[in-house]
Amino acid sequence: MAGLNVFIIGGSRNIGYHSSILLLDAGATVTYLLRNTSVFDTDDKVQKYIKEGKARLVKGDALVQSDVQGAWDEASKESKVDVVIFTVGGTPKFSLTKGFVIEPANLVTQSLFNVLCVIFKHNPSAEDQPRIIAISSTGVTKASHDALPFALKPMYSYLLKVPHQDKIGAERLVAHCAGWEWTSGEPAVEIMGGSDWKNREGLPKPGELKKILVIRPALLTDGECKCVYRVSTGEVGGWTVSRKDVAHFLVDAVLKEERWKEFENKIASIAY
């Protein structure tokens, strides 16, 4: 599916970065929303595609809706956006009392609010909506946590508790907009940005979000791409998976129609 027009938020590193390179190599045009556009100054791979006009860098913050709008306008100025990849994640800091924390604590959820509000500003029909892929994490819900290997459960309960509250907020947002049943309890009001979050201006109404895939990776590593992993719409309960293999699965779902149909409007867990 060469020639895709891709908009990526969180593509400066990790899963987002690896996904973007695979898509550029496959012939896609990729527009990045970046807080720091100099992040690719010494990246020969990205620089090659910038010179060819296939990679576009837009400076902005996903927490600022007008910045997201500006990047969306750049991405869609020549053709409609086919795919949106959302891999936002903060740089965690360690706290003895809270484990790993990010600032702000609702970074992922509020950034996703902005992205969805921008995309649905003009109420696109189901046919005109881009495919949206968002990265979450295994262990965020009770069922997902119960499926973890026993030795990982304390770490997830303590070290990753705060980041996971943000991830569950993002998943709650997706479930609301996609019209999915939600049985995991309501996130903290602070994560959702207020008790009236469902009525935020521009937010898709329940069931309006039609083309979404949420990926829950196991504990992420910086290992190489093995191209061999387990993916399920149920719980996989694995230990780890590399960021490059998550990117491989993500891009596989983007480029292969049958793969997308298998996972569209679902949550997919991935692990070795």
pLDDT single digits (tens) 61-115:
999 999 999 999 999 999 999 999 999 987 878 787 787 778 899 999 999 999 9
Name the residue range of residue 66's domain: 5-271
Alpha carbons 124 and 122: distance in angstroms, whole number: 6
Find which of 33-42, 98-107, 141-150 is predicted with most confidence, using mean pLDDT.
33-42
The reported pLDDT for the residue numbered 215 is 98
Residue 93 is given by DSSP the state E
- With a pLDDT cut of 90, the percent of the chain lying above it is 80
Mean pLDDT rounded to a whole number for the chain: 94
Residue 225 is given by DSSP the state P
The number of folded domains in the chain is 1
Q: How confident is the model at residue 258 (pLDDT cuts 50, 70, 90)?
A: very high
Instruction: Please state the rounded mean pLDDT for residues 210-235.
Output: 96
CB atoms within 10 A of CB 66: 11
Which pTM was predicted? 0.95
Alpha carbons 168 and 256: distance in angstroms, whole number: 28
Q: Which residues pair with 133 in a beta bridge?
A: 85, 213
Q: How confident is the model at residue 206 (pLDDT cuts 50, 70, 90)?
A: very high
Structure tokens that stand for 268 in this block: 């997919």
The reported pLDDT for the residue numbered 15 is 98
How would you classify residue 99: left for phi > 0, otherwise alpha for psi between -120 and 50, otherwise beta? left
Alpha carbons 87 and 95: distance in angstroms, whole number: 24
Report whether pLDDT(42) > 60: yes
Residue owning tokens 């100054």: 41
Q: What is the CATH number of the domain that holds 173?
A: 3.40.50.720
Instruction: Please state the rounded mean pLDDT for residues 235-259.
Output: 96
Q: Are 61 and 88 in contact (CB under 8 A)?
A: no
Residue closest to 25 by CA, chosen among 224, 247, 230, 217: 247
For the chain, the farthest-separated pair of C-alpha atoms sits apart, in whole angstroms, at 50
Q: Are 238 and 272 in contact (CB under 8 A)?
A: yes
The reported pLDDT for the residue numbered 1 is 53
